[in-house]
Amino acid sequence: MAKKARIKELKKPDEFVSFWTHLGTKVAENRWKVLATLLTAAVVVAVLWGMAAYKSAQAAKATAAFGRIDRIATAELLPEKADVEAQAPKTDADDVPRFKTEKERLEAAIKEADAFVATYGRDGLGRKALLGKAGRLLAIGKAADAATIYETLAASETDANLRDIEQEGAAAANEAQGKLDDALRAYTALAESTQRGGSFYLDRALFAKARILEAQGKAKEAETVLREILNKVPKTSLRQQIDDRLAVLAEK
């Protein structure tokens, strides 16, 4: 029995060697398949790493380009006198142009937003660039163009808070064009949607609605809407303005 056990133990190293010999033979026989698999894995890793690096670099470029829009929009205006300009201290925004008027500055920011969207697309930061552009168009009197952008953004917006801002912008743009009926419908719809989602923005929408009604000569209806604000949003930050309008409407 002891002899048989001894023979069995001696076989174990042979079995161990045999296993690795067979494995080596298999690998040798299929070395091209093994090599191809390793190369494929290496290529996949390299591609994934490259894509991640590219996206990271593009995101960094997009962020920097988006920041430039705001820097142009807030750039210092040129002083009226040249000697004052020469004495003006340098700022971090020295790589952006300086403008003589607010209108020139807004137009430059609009142009920069167009360039951003052309390069990086209308999604992500592109939507924010368009939102800023719409506000600046409204500020320089191009209400119709602003309304188109606001309405397009609102129609595809997934963020409820941003949609409220875009809908208010569209309503304000219609109001600026003198389209009071369209503006009234827009402010009414905004008030209804914000009321369903909570009181945020409700007072602003209703206050704008009351303003339109007053402009249309509907003083009693405007007064009703203003009192609705005090009832639904008692802690509104517009309280003083509401009280002032109610005092004026009471005299009509």
State pLDDT tens for residues 177-206.
999 999 999 999 999 988 887 667 899 999
**pLDDT class for 214, splitting at 50, 70, 90?**
very high
Q: How far is CA 114 from the centre of its chain?
A: 15
- Is residue 133 within 8 A of residue 110, CB to CB? The reply is yes
Question: Among 77-91, 131-145, 221-235, where is mean pLDDT lowest?
Answer: 77-91
**Dist CA 122 CA 213 (whole Å):** 36
The rounded mean pLDDT for the chain is 81
- Check residue 250 and give its pLDDT: 86
For 91, left (φ over 0), alpha (ψ -120 to 50), or beta? Answer: beta
For residue 209, what are its two tokens?
Answer: 């609605």
Supply the pLDDT for residue 86: 46
Query: Residues for the chain: how many in total?
Result: 252
Q: Which of 57-71, 85-99, 205-219 has the lowest mean pLDDT?
A: 85-99
pTM above 0.75, yes or no: no
Q: Is the pLDDT of residue 91 over 90?
A: no
HSE-up (13 A, CA, CB side) for residue 241: 12
DSSP state for residue 122 in the 8-state scheme: S
Q: Are 88 and 82 in contact (CB under 8 A)?
A: no
